[in-house]
Structure 1
Amino acid sequence: MRPLSRPRKRLLRPQAWLWVLLTVCTLGSSTGCLIPMYSADPARRAQQLLYTSEDLRTFLDEWERIWFLDSPSHMKPYRTSGLVL
């Protein structure tokens, strides 16, 4: 009778290790993780945060302008002297 053997551990192939290493390097070096997104100087950081918030605030206006959502609707009837044309 054969003794029970433990399952062999499967190691990753070198190609898989390369993908793991590439993924870790990509995620680890993204801005805001290892490289700070904003300056360490409080005055400059406040200015950068203001610029970022202004960009985010105006994004909705840009989106509506690109998709013509800010234009008047041509599907609604317009009124002249109380009559619907």
Structure 2
Amino acid sequence: MRPVSRPRLRLLRPQAWLLGLLAALTLSSSTGCLIPMYSADPARRAQQLLYTSEDLRTFLDEWERVWFLDSPSHMKPYRTSGLVL
């Protein structure tokens, strides 16, 4: 019987190594996300930044609304004993 030969792993060719290295350098040099969050137009970008900062400013109000902390207190400003006189 003839022994079963296993397929050998071939090393990548130098061109493939260079292509992989070039892709790694390209991806690592980009900053942030691949798709920009804000527009490239300065006027539109300023508008988007204002909307974002407004959203962050109202976050505390939203948090209080979710946890019912914005409701008025129904407690009296002074202590009462609760006894009927």
Structure-2-length-normalised TM-score: 0.50
Structure with bigger gyration radius: 2
**Structure holding more strand per residue:** 1
Structure with the greater relative contact order (CA < 8 A, sep ≥ 6): 1 or 2? 2
Structure-1-length-normalised TM-score: 0.50
